[in-house]
Structure 1
Amino acid sequence: MANREYLVDVSAYQGTSMAQYHSRGATGIIVKGTEGQWYRNPLAVKQIASAHYHHMWVHMYHFANFGHSVHQAKLEARACLAEAKHLNINKKRYIFCDWEASAQNYIQGSRLANTKAVLAFMKVCHGAGYHVGLYSGASALRNNVDASTIVKKYGACLWVASYATMGRIDTPSFAYFPSMNGVAMWQFTDNWHGLNVDGNITLIDLHAENKAKPAKEIPKIVYVPIINNNPNYHVRLLDSKGHYQKYIATNTRWKVWSVKIINGMKCYKIGTDTQWVPAKFTKIIK
């Protein structure tokens, strides 16, 4: 595929800077947001901020503790969504359910019960507007859940872990690809470029929705209201390629020249090609 991209998945075991991953060619991260109902990644906010600074896509994953319990899966999905909202995860991105064997996640229940629980989690997240996927090792995806039923429901959504060797791998060899239907992303190493971070490569375009045409209707005037009751609050502009530029003050009005989707956000052009304001910070006047 022409659209293969490298992404890294990060948790509290990694630092807050995404610079070294971006410099090696990673175009996105999958950040651990939650685990069970009890855990929130304390570094997620800074990790996401760093990813955005380096113009990287941001997806999120939840480490499952629900095993084969549908009831618990629904509770964990709600906790996951609450944190996704807190972290401002864009609803054009993916929330992956990391369902693997651990001290907190028993996967030896029946294949049917396991599948029902996983689907229950995914249904809640999908119902909230997110794309959804399932992560696990190749063996678990083949033997402990009915992956074909999950793929039938959500399309190519499997994020499968399978390593050719337990050591540094910079570029994956597809001679070792764990062939199965519905793979969206392959985790091919736990030590990408010697950085002690999981390396992943996409098999589908996770960001295809960002190629949608911009809205045809262009407002004439937009207003940037005061934010958080702070008259000194400023809004940062972007250029047409998604790089952040200068700030503009709130409580101001601007003429709109064009509309465009930039970094997954609808933006209004209020001046030159380096002056695009995210629409979410504005109100249409006329």
Structure 2
Amino acid sequence: MSSKEYLVDVSAYQNTSMASYHAHGATGIIVKGTEGTWYRNPSASKQIASAHHYHMWVHMYHFANFGHSVHQAKLEAQACLAEAKRLNISKKRYLWLDWEESTQNYIQGSRSVNTKAILAFMAEIKKAGYKVGLYSGAYLLKNNVDTREVVKKYGTCLWAASYPSSGVADFDVFPSMNGVAMWQFTDNWHGLNVDGNVALINLHYTDEAKGKATKKPIEKPKPKPVKKTGIVYAPVINHNPNWKIRLLDSDGHYTKYIKTNTRWKYFDFKTIRGMKCYKIGTDTQWVPAKYTKIIE
């Protein structure tokens, strides 16, 4: 883990002010947004506003009531997304699925059917453009969910709860499992009656947030259109008005001569025998550019 970043998860049972959590070092919150298709956290807006006031990152979680029902999982995902939109949760953050045992959430289905429903929920969240993760107790994740399938599809995305007796993030008793992005290590962080979590991966930062703006590829200047016609001047060479310039044909054979101190219209140019030449007549009349100047 590159850095210890602490977050608290809050519901209507916690304060609407994040001041005390921030004062004790929390840099972010995971706010309960929804449960099933019927519940919205009445304190969420104020909790989010307070978190923003203290410059804390804001993620959201949904408390599952769908058990192993794929159909119900999709309905709950839509309810979750609607609330995330209403609360203006950034799509750079996570929407977490809290899938744990409750009177409303049946967990006794097979690992296969449980996982299928969980993945159905997560797929809807991902499709909407959010980062997505799965929360539960470490024991339940190991025994009731095929976390290999979840991690295979969504990478390091598990938020595992496992409480050491010390109540602190003691990595000697960290819940050993693959794909853990965040560890909930206490339900009474600093005696504040709030869950304490430590991030094992970088949950928040983007390149822009780090000041690493994506570099735009350097565009090469477009070449200027080549002018293939014009007028060339053959100046006097070595101050000798009798000096003549020998022409070439297109295959590089020398042909006739032209006088200096003359002007010629050219119709094309190309390299012949390693020299740039201008065509001033037929295909047997190419004058070496080194003996001329373009004047028009």
If the TM-score is normalised by the length of the shorter chain, which range does it land in?
Answer: 0.7 to 0.9
Q: Alignment identity in percent?
A: 73
CA-CA distance at 1:164 after TM superposition: 1.0
Check whether the contact 2:2–2:201 (CA below 8 A) recurs between aligned residues: no
Give, in whole Å, the separation in 2 of the partners of 1:208 and 1:11: 24
| SS at 2:65 equivalent | coil
| Letter of the structure 1 residue corresponding to residue 129 of structure 2 | G
Alignment-derived partner of residue 103 in structure 1: 103
* 1:147-226 alignment runs, 5 A limit: 147-165=147-165, 169=167, 171-209=168-206, 210-211=209-210, 213-214=212-213
| Letter of the structure 1 residue corresponding to residue 190 of structure 2 | H
| TM-score calculated relative to the size of structure 2 | 0.70
Can you list the C-alpha shifts for 1:80-105, whole angstroms capped at 9, x where unaligned?
A: 00000000000000000000000000
Give, in whole Å, the separation in 1 of the partners of 2:215 and 2:109: 51
| SS at 1:213 equivalent | coil
| SS at 1:193 equivalent | helix
Can you list the C-alpha shifts for 1:206-241, whole angstroms capped at 9, x where unaligned?
A: 013233633678xxxxxxxxxxxxxxxxxxxxxxxx
Q: How many residue pairs are counted as aligned between the two chains? A: 214
Query: Gapped runs of 5+ residues in structure 2?
Result: 217-296
| Letter of the structure 1 residue corresponding to residue 204 of structure 2 | H
| Letter of the structure 1 residue corresponding to residue 183 of structure 2 | W
Give, in whole Å, the separation in 2 of the partners of 1:133 and 1:212: 26
* 1:126-137 alignment runs, 5 A limit: 126-137=126-137
Alignment-derived partner of residue 49 in structure 2: 49
Can you list the C-alpha shifts for 1:16-44, whole angstroms capped at 9, x where unaligned?
A: 00000000000000000000000000000
Give, in whole Å, the separation in 2 of the partners of 1:55 and 1:212: 17
Can you list the C-alpha shifts for 1:51-100, whole angstroms capped at 9, x where unaligned?
A: 00000000000000000000000000000000000000000000000000
The verdict on how the C-alpha distance between 1:21 and 1:145 changes in structure 2, with shifts beyond 3 A counting, is same
| SS at 2:89 equivalent | coil
| TM-score calculated relative to the size of structure 1 | 0.73
| Letter of the structure 1 residue corresponding to residue 175 of structure 2 | P
Query: Gapped runs of 5+ residues in structure 1?
Result: 218-286
Check whether the contact 1:4–1:204 (CA below 8 A) recurs between aligned residues: no
- Cα RMSD of the aligned pairs, angstroms, is 1.3
Check whether the contact 2:70–2:120 (CA below 8 A) recurs between aligned residues: yes
Give, in whole Å, the separation in 2 of the partners of 1:213 and 1:35: 37
Give, in whole Å, the separation in 2 of the partners of 1:212 and 1:142: 39
Larger radius of gyration: 2
Check whether the contact 2:33–2:62 (CA below 8 A) recurs between aligned residues: yes
